[in-house]
Structure formats: structure tokens, C-alpha cells
Amino acid sequence: MLVSEALEARKSTRAFLSKAVEKEKIERILAAARHAPSGTNTQPWQVAVVTGETKERIGKLMESAFREGTKGKMDYQYYPIEWQEPYKGRRKACGLLMYKTLEITREDERRQREQWAANFRAFDAPVMLLFFMDPMMETGSYLDYGMFLQSVMLTAVEEGLATCSQAALGEYPEMIKKELGYPEDSKLICGMSLGYEDTGALVNSYRTVREEIGSFAQFFD
């Protein structure tokens, strides 16, 4: 598979088969992704591969906190505090496309809430990846981490697997660190669902639109 083909094939998958993911595949994905670049070769990534009863327990804890109204707080500010265009419009269009595909109306708050709650179960994927970083690392390491995450997702495509990178899985960091035994001051960057795509699920049938090159690139001779 060409890199360009993997880039186009990758998407945020939100429904998975119950089929277990072979440990060998996960190891191959991480072995490939470790070649991602990082400033002065710091390799700041620390990955928790969570499956089975541990995944179920963590998912239930986060989902319960969400349903009880306990607002999560990530270890860092992921999104803007005040949205502006064009990002505000893109964000809104992304959400509306999913709700339109699932026929969830703006007034149907119950179904909206149910769909959001699925985030904390990693959309019932058999594998939940959680990505940590030492607290001493700074902004540059977030850039490094992005390249590592992309490498994980592209290699997963090559392995016939689907993913969804999720900020939502980083919304209850204290809870996750306690359950997995990570230091309290470590940074939970985000999480990722990993598994075999349920190709018949309606939620997996839509694709978000990407901007044309002319809207973000300038060429200088």
C-alpha cells in the first residue's frame, strides 16, 4: 500500500466489530510508528495498550462520570477557548454531518448524548490506546506526538485495521492514571480506538470534506 493510499483510506471510525485484534498486529503497528521523527530524537511517546477487563472497567468509569454530569478536564488546552472562523464553521459542519447521517435531529438531545457517551467506551472497539508523556516535555513534543499518532493510524490501515483518535479519552486523566498506575503528574495526550471496522454501520458511511490546496498553501518563486 502506498502512503498516499493509506492517507486517503484512513478515517475516524466509530463502530467496530467485536473481533479481537491480534497482539502481533499491535506490536507491528507500534514497531513501525516508533520511527516517527522527534526533536533531537527524544521519542516522548508512552503508550498504554488497554484491552479486555481493564478496558471495560476504564470505559465504564469514564462513561459513568460523563452521565453523572462530572465535567472532564484534559491535562492541557486542546481546543480554542473562543472559536472563530473558519475553524468554527468546519467544526460545526463536522458534527452536523455525523448527526445527519445518523438522522439525529438538533432537538433530540437524548440521542446526541448517547452518541457522545460512546466516546468513553472507545466506540466499543476491542483496543483502547492511551498516549502519555512526561511532564517535563514542552510544546515541541506535542508536535512530535502528532507525527507518532499519524504513524500509528497509517500503519493500522496497512494492517487492515481502523482507528479513531480521540481527545475525549483524555478528558478524565486523573481517573485513567489511577487505574493504570501512571504518575499523577504525567500528561495524558489523548486516546485512540483500534479494531476492525464494522463496514455495515451507518456511522462509518460518511466522510468529512477536506479543503483544496489553494485554501491553505501559497507558493513563492
pLDDT per position as a tens digit, 78-121: 999 999 999 999 999 999 999 999 999 989 999 999 999 999 99
CA–CA gap between residue 98 and residue 105 (Å, rounded): 11
* Integer Cα distance of 195 and 22 in angstroms: 10
- pLDDT attached to residue 58: 97
Q: Determine the pLDDT at residue 64.
A: 97
How high is the mean pLDDT in each 10-residue block of the chain (221 residues)?
94 97 98 98 98 97 96 95 96 94 92 95 98 97 98 98 98 98 98 98 95 96 94
Tell the residue number behind the cell numbers 530524537, with chain if given.
41
Contact 156, 150 (CB under 8 A): no
**At which residue does the C-alpha cell 517535563 appear?**
136
- Domains located in the chain, CATH noted: 3-78+120-204 (3.40.109.10)
pTM: 0.95
| The pLDDT value given to residue 188 | 98
pLDDT at 123: 97
Look at residue 141 in the predicted model and tell me its pLDDT.
98
Q: What is the DSSP secondary-structure string of 120-160?
A: GGGGG-SEEEEEEE-TT--HHHHHHHHHHHHHHHHHHHHTT
The predicted pLDDT at position 36 comes to: 98
Q: Which three cell numbers stand for residue 76?
A: 492541557
* pLDDT of amino acid 88: 96
pLDDT at 12: 97
